[in-house]
Structure 1
Amino acid sequence: MKPVSIVIITLNEQKRISRLLSDLVVQNYRNFEVIVVDSASDDLTVKIAKTYEPHLPSLRVHNMGARGVSLGRNTGVKLAQHDRVLFLDADTRLEPNFLAQAMKDINQRQLDVAGVYRNVQKAPLKFKAGYGVFNAGLFLSQFFFPTAVGACLFSTKTVHQKIGGFDEEIELCEDCDYVKRAAKTSRYRMLSHYIAFEFDPRRLVQDGYLSTGALYLRANVRRLILGEMHNQEIPYPFGHYREQSR
């Protein structure tokens, strides 16, 4: 089994980080390290993450003293010991066999970079249709205009360094820009549909179901026609979510 460096970016995730780390503790695939890159949280995120060190011996918690999605992911890759990298957001949930299935699919298809679909089966009923449409868009776009969800994205240090990592000037769709650039020189595809991750719907709850969909549709149409957004044409700051009960 090839080793994996799992990079988790956090910002005030004290209510969610333990869920994801607990999911990693029970993974069937055991050859991985975990790097939590914290963006100067002012809650108990770092303290809670460190309590998992006895359960995840290859866990490191790094406080980078600054904030930024792309900055956090780029920092995590610099700290990673292995070539294979998995980027996760703190509000992601994984089934115990997720890593085993994903790594098998990646190896069989010889993928360098791989996106992952959102779990439609376990999504709240009111979000099922939207998630289904979103997944369909991910499937179709992989062949001509690659897009992805940075909350659960496989890559390698080799590819990451070749393309210059995540663009730290982009606040919205930085993950889509990443895979679009990666696909030009490396093999990118979505993983099989049966491999999926759960996604905390707090973004949809806070920003609104239709508003969120319209935002990403607008952003990707804009990207397709005019290119990437380097000047915050559509502002979407990291960590703007309020705490929501789940």
Structure 2
Amino acid sequence: MKSLSVVVITLNEEKRIARLLSDLSCQTYQDFEVIVVDSNSDDRTREVAEKYHAALPSLTVHQMSDRGVSLGRNTGANLAKNERLLFLDADVRLDKDFLQKAIDKLEEEKLEVAGVYMGSRKLAPAYKAGYGLFNAGLFATQFFFPTAVGACIFSTKRVHQEIGGFDEEIVLCEDCHYVKKAAQTWRFRFLPMSFQFDPRRLEQDGFFKMGFTYLKANIRRFMFGEMRNNEMEYKFGHYQQQ
């Protein structure tokens, strides 16, 4: 069973990073390191993360001078000591057996790269319905036009290096491009499990607005290819201000 490197990207996440690190410290599977890659936060994100060295002995907190989602993931992958990679966002929550189940399934299915469905436990019925529709789309497209949720993606160093990592020129749907490119060589599938995801982006942007944005973006990607020239302007990080 391969050891795992967990890459967590952060930007002003002092209110949420502790919850994820606590979840990781309580995992039934413990053969992993955690690499927190911080995009030069203005708050106490790094200080909060540093307090988890006792609970997570293989924890590294790395500060970047520049900011960027893809840059952060690529930086974490370069720092990783293990072959198996897991990319997480700081507002993810994991059940205590998440890593064990995921590793078992990855090895059983011989998957190098895989996505994970979004969970809606404890959310309002409207969110449950919305997440259900979104997950149905993820399931259907995995067979011909893979998409993914960047907040939780499994990969390997071999895949990451051979496809050139996350494309730092793509602002919207860089996660979908990553798995789509990987799927050209390796079989990509979604694991039959889920992670919990903070709905703050939906709450601020509105479910229908955000859903339409990503639907439009992926239709555009399907028809015309990846967006590297700000074809669809989308402001990331604005929810951090709340």
TM-score range, shorter chain: over 0.9
Q: CA deviation at 1:58?
A: 0.2
Gaps of 5+ in 2: none
Q: CA deviation at 1:240?
A: 2.0
CA distance in 2, matches of 1:227, 1:79: 30
Q: Name 2:217's counterpart in structure 1.
A: 219
Check the 8 A contact 2:2/2:83 in 1, yes or no: no
Gaps of 5+ in 1: none
Q: Name 1:85's counterpart in structure 2.
A: 85
- Report Cα offsets for 1:112-149 as digits up to 9, x if no partner: 10000011344332201110000000000000000000
Check the 8 A contact 1:206/1:242 in 2, yes or no: no
Aligned positions of 1:1-246 closer than 5 A: 1-192=1-192, 195-244=193-242
Matched residue SS, 1:166: coil
Q: CA deviation at 1:39?
A: 0.1
CA distance in 1, matches of 2:126, 2:14: 26
CA distance in 2, matches of 1:168, 1:103: 28
CA distance in 2, matches of 1:76, 1:185: 23
- Report Cα offsets for 1:83-116 as digits up to 9, x if no partner: 1000000000000000000111100000010000
CA distance in 2, matches of 1:165, 1:98: 24
Q: CA deviation at 1:234?
A: 1.3
TM-score by length of 2: 0.98
TM-score by length of 1: 0.96
CA distance in 1, matches of 2:236, 2:97: 30
Q: 1:100 to 1:53 in 2, by over 3 A?
A: same
Q: CA deviation at 1:171?
A: 1.0
